[in-house]
Amino acid sequence: MAPAQEHMFDEEPLPEAVVLDCDFVVNVLHENEDFHDECARFAGRLFDERVGIVYSNLLRIEFWQGWRRAVNLRGLPGEMGGEPIRIRHVAKEREKWYALGDEYLKLFLSLFDRYEVRLGTRLLNQAVKLMGRHNLGSRDACLAAIAFHTQVLDVVSLDQDFLRVDRIHVWNNDIPARRRAARRR
């Protein structure tokens, strides 16, 4: 087994289609995330070059959790609420802010030629095998199963776990390594 191949966001050529992971999407849509600028530029490049996107029906659920974490840690993006606001001061507004994040996600996805994969028994069985073979978490295993099922082996993810999956091309701009280095400091 060979490890996945990593790609930088400025590499040429771009693939015809990519599978999107939630962490990338949260970084694109929440301007206070650490890697927002480079992820947003890459999303713009995907859009400009008409790269199709593949995602699962779990993306929306994963996004809610990622958006919740981002808002709780970093406040609302300035574009949504002026100055970033910390939720602990205005807890009654959470429902509205999470709904707005969900609308951001829907708008973002609508910009692309896209294919939504519904997880069924066959893909879930494949995911279990991938969990064992590559020591993946369940959501990452589902995403890898989708990549193999659709034969779209280019995955945009900031998650280092995909680096263990053979035949996958991970578009990550070296962010997992930069995160590891930052944690060691």
Question: How confident is the model over 111-167, as pLDDT tens digits?
Answer: 999 999 999 999 999 999 999 999 999 999 999 999 999 999 999 999 999 999 999
CATH superfamily of the domain spanning 5-57+113-184: 5'-nuclease (3.40.50.1010)
**Cis check: omega of the bond before 13, within 30 degrees of 0:** yes
In contact, 85 and 73? CB cutoff 8 Å: no
DSSP string across 95-136:
HHHHHHHHHHHHHHHHTS-EEEEPP-HHHHHHHHHHHHHHT-
Once rounded to an integer, what is the mean pLDDT over residues 23-42?
96
* pLDDT 10s digits, 35-85: 999 999 999 999 999 999 999 999 999 999 999 998 888 877 776 655 444
Per-residue model confidence (pLDDT) at position 86: 52
This prediction's pTM: 0.90
Per-residue model confidence (pLDDT) at position 144: 97
pLDDT band at 92 (very low <50, low <70, confident <90, very high): low
Q: What are phi and psi of 176, to 5 degrees?
A: -55, -40
Once rounded to an integer, what is the mean pLDDT over residues 156-183?
95
Per-residue model confidence (pLDDT) at position 111: 97
Helix (H) or strand (E) holding 22: helix 22-29
Q: How far apart are CA 3 and CA 172, in angstroms?
A: 14
Per-residue model confidence (pLDDT) at position 74: 83
For the chain, domain boundaries: 5-57+113-184
